[in-house]
Amino acid sequence: MREVPVVQKVLKANDLLAEKNREEFARLGLFVVNLMGTPGAGKTALLEKTFDMLDLNAVPSAVIEGDIATTNDATRLAQKGVQVVQINTNKFGNACHLDAGMVQSAMEDLDLNQAKLLFIENVGNLVCPAGFDLGETARAVVLSVTEGEDKPLKYPVIFRSADAVVITKSDLLPHLNVSEQTIKENIGSIQPKCKIFTVSAQTGSGMQQWLHWLVRHEG
């Protein structure tokens, strides 16, 4: 509506910075995953389990952690032996998403020369982050089974942009009136080409396929 022309200008500025980030990521040989999903989808828990199971000597990893407020998630991830830098968007008008400029600033606080994997954990939001290219190599949308079956249909923009969807909290499926198959069909109807992983960060179920995808792609 009346916001659109302005938003387009902001996006253009963002795209230029994203392109610079992409060049820098390529120079460093980094595989960079923009991890998006709603608050409480299990993005941080997925990363914790990923770092528990990954050989971090072979695949040194880092995280840029985006939140409106608190350093809770950065603190959790730093305990896993990876480099973490926090972006709090309450310093940027409580922004509902990360943008390429924020990522560029955060990179100054990371030593990425040895790193092979960089995760950018976006602000919890299934809408706005989709519009902002960060220069990432791949986009992964995290969707918990507790969110119900129809979210890909109701929030198509972010799913359309996904290279991978990670269905989380699969250990809760027995307690829910939700079909994993229907979730997958709904994802497929929006974005037939993306990889789909079903995992539980509690039990480790399905994590190997996700790790395989990450490691196959890195550097």
* Residue 150 binds to its own copies (criterion: CB under 8 A): yes
Q: Which of 56, 110, 138, 172 binds its own copies (CB under 8 A)?
A: 172
C-alpha distances (whole Å) from 56 to each of 19, 53, 75, 156 are 28, 9, 18, 34
Q: Restricting to residues 55-84, name those near its own copies by CB under 8 A.
A: 67-70, 72-73
H helices within the chain, ranges in order? 4-28, 43-53, 72-78, 100-107, 151-154, 156-160, 180-190, 207-217
Are 137 and 168 in contact by the 8 Å Cβ rule? The answer is no
How many residues bind its own copies (CB under 8 A)? The answer is 45
Task: Give the residue with the Cβ less far from its own copies, 113 or 177.
Answer: 177
Task: Give the residue with the Cβ less far from its own copies, 175 or 216.
Answer: 175
* Residue 86 binds to its own copies (criterion: CB under 8 A): no
Output the six-digit token pair for 130: 């989709």
Q: How far is the CB of 44 from its own copies (least distance, A)?
A: 9
Phi and psi angles of residue 17, each rounded to the nearest 5 degrees, phi first: -65, -35
* Residue 218 binds to its own copies (criterion: CB under 8 A): no
Judged by CB under 8 A, the stretch of 3-11, 16-24, 52-60, 110-118 that binds its own copies is: 3-11
Q: Which of 127, 189, 205, 212 binds its own copies (CB under 8 A)?
A: 127
* Residue 156 binds to its own copies (criterion: CB under 8 A): yes
Whether the CA torsion 141, 190, 96, 23 is positive or negative: it is positive
d(CA 60, CA 181): 34
Bridge partner residues of 138 (DSSP): 33
Q: How far is the CB of 54 from its own copies (least distance, A)?
A: 23
Are 159 and 195 in contact by the 8 Å Cβ rule? The answer is no
Q: Which residues bind its own copies (CB under 8 A)?
A: 1-4, 6-7, 10, 13, 38-40, 67-70, 72-73, 92-96, 99, 101, 123-128, 144, 146-148, 150-151, 153-157, 169, 172, 175-176
